[in-house]
Amino acid sequence: MGDYNAEDGLAVLNYLGLTNVTDHEKRVFREKWDNAYKLHSHNLIRTTWTLYAESLPFTFRSDENGALALAQLRDYDFGQRLEVTGLQESLDNGVLLNDILAGGPYRFCKTLRI
């Protein structure tokens, strides 16, 4: 496990195909990273997930119901993508983040049953 920064967290989002983050959200993500990373015991995935799904939706939406819906959607989507990619397991098994990211973003595709 390494010492990660906000750019690593944003790279995780990109790897997971979560590219719907605005430039403004990215700026706030970077600003909040250090405190959130400490709060989550220097856990890259937990910090990234929390900022993306729980913090950013409430930072930019004045409509609480809309923010809650966005947070729930992002939380579910992040979890599903994390499970499919096996990213957490790879990191837990000692694979370096840079080695994982070197392959480019994970490619999600649907299986067509004909």
In this prediction, residues 76-86 reach a mean pLDDT of 94
Q: How far is CA 85 from CA 17, 39, 70, 82, 95, in A?
A: 10, 25, 22, 5, 13
* In a domain? residue 78: yes
pLDDT at 114: 56
Least confident of 1-15, 39-53, 97-111: 97-111
Phi/psi at 58 (5° precision)? -85, -15
Q: Hey, what are 50's tokens?
A: 């929390």
User: How many domains does one find in the chain?
Assistant: 1
Percentage with pLDDT > 70 across the chain: 89
* In a domain? residue 113: no
Q: Does position 80 have pLDDT exceeding 60, yes or no?
A: yes
Question: How many H helices and E strands in the chain?
Answer: 7, 0
pLDDT, one tens digit per residue, over 32-59 is: 999 999 999 999 999 999 999 999 988 8
Q: What is the pTM of this model?
A: 0.87
Q: How far is CA 113 from CA 47, 84, 85, 110, in A?
A: 37, 19, 22, 9
* In a domain? residue 111: no
* In a domain? residue 31: yes
In this prediction, residues 16-23 reach a mean pLDDT of 92
pLDDT at 112: 45
| pLDDT band, very low/low/confident/very high, at 101 (cuts 50, 70, 90) | very high
Parent domain of 78: 6-101
Task: Please give the DSSP secondary-structure letter assigned to residue 111.
Answer: P
